[in-house]
Amino acid sequence: MDGGDGPAPTIDEKISTLSLNGDEEKEPEKDPRKIARKYQLDLCRKALNENIIVYLETGCGKTHIAVLLMHEMRDRIKKPQKNICVYLAPTVALVQQQAKVIQDSTDFKVGMFSGGSKHWKRYHDWEKEMEKYEVFYKNDVTKLPRIFGMTASPKFGKGATLNTLETLLNAKVYSVENKEELEQFVASPQVKIYYYGPAGSSSSCPCTSYFTKLEEIKNQCMSTLSGKTDDYASLKSTKKMLRRLHSNLIFCMESLGIWGAVQVSCCSIQFIALDFSDVA
């Protein structure tokens, strides 16, 4: 038998030991591999070898792939190791949500830092925080970070694409080739297309009476606001908002018909009430 070190066990080999009894190495109490899907394990395996960006639709379990990757790299992250894992999210709500997922799925010490957190300025303060947590961030200028990205969008703002993201992050984009496997776990929406013609302009068109009524409502609101002179700047802003809302509703009626304009009105009514409460 060769006495040298053999290759590290693969994810599949590790999973196969979960059902065995006896003297195998004790696994952590929380093991995200137990509920992992095959395509999640496949993508995690790729992420262990190179920087990757997982491109999957919402609801396909991208976050769990990230959790699997942290789990597989735990020997490099767990204290007393000096390496630290950083998980970036674009909003405070997502920071809190994803941190809870990691805490529930692994045995890592997770620190949350966002716009509402303390703002440490001294290097020593950040060093103390990094000593406490394992999922956080540490910048080491001597090494390039290992990157694992997740997206549900094939295109980004200002003409950017997945290709530009690959170049920027020095990573490759991967997805699931077997769509049938995905459909076992994620229900695909049924798309129904309804065609409609442009709104008519004759006097018999139902929209015509609504155009007139909207104009009357706008003028009535403008007249009411003109009697308020206590806060000129606020009144000016409110009148501008009313004109913009009126134009948007007219545009929706012309482009989408009465039903589309009603939906826009329903979505806007809460914001309108808030704005008017400021000048009431």
Count of beta carbons in the 10 Å neighbourhood of residue 129 = 16
pTM recorded for the entire structure: 0.54
User: pLDDT tens digit string along 157-198?
Assistant: 555 677 787 888 888 888 887 878 887 887 767 778 877 665
pLDDT (average), residues 7-28:
51
* pLDDT for position 47: 92
User: pLDDT tens digit string along 194-221?
Assistant: 776 655 555 556 677 888 888 888 888 8
Residue 182 vs residues 36, 112, 177: alpha-carbon distances, Å:
13, 31, 9
Chain-wide mean pLDDT for the chain?
Answer: 75
The more confident residue out of 185 and 31 is: 31
Cα–Cα distance measured from residue 169 to residue 189, given in angstroms and rounded to the nearest whole number: 32
Cα–Cα distance measured from residue 266 to residue 40, given in angstroms and rounded to the nearest whole number: 40
* pLDDT for position 244: 86
pLDDT band at 19 (very low <50, low <70, confident <90, very high): very low
Cα–Cα distance measured from residue 33 to residue 11, given in angstroms and rounded to the nearest whole number: 8
* pLDDT for position 25: 52
pLDDT (average), residues 71-83:
82
* pLDDT for position 201: 53
pLDDT band at 21 (very low <50, low <70, confident <90, very high): very low
DSSP string, 176-215: -S-HHHHHTTSPPPPP-----PPPP-STTSHHHHHHHHHH
* pLDDT for position 42: 93
* pLDDT for position 197: 61
* pLDDT for position 248: 83
pLDDT of residue 255 exceeding 50: yes
Q: Is the peptide bond before 80 cis (omega within 30 degrees of 0)?
A: yes
User: pLDDT tens digit string along 85-132?
Assistant: 888 888 888 888 888 998 899 888 888 877 666 666 666 776 777 777
Q: 């992420």: which residue's tokens?
A: 47
Quick one: 11-183 is in which CATH superfamily?
A: P-loop containing nucleotide triphosphate hydrolases (3.40.50.300)
Percentage, residues of the chain above pLDDT 70: 69
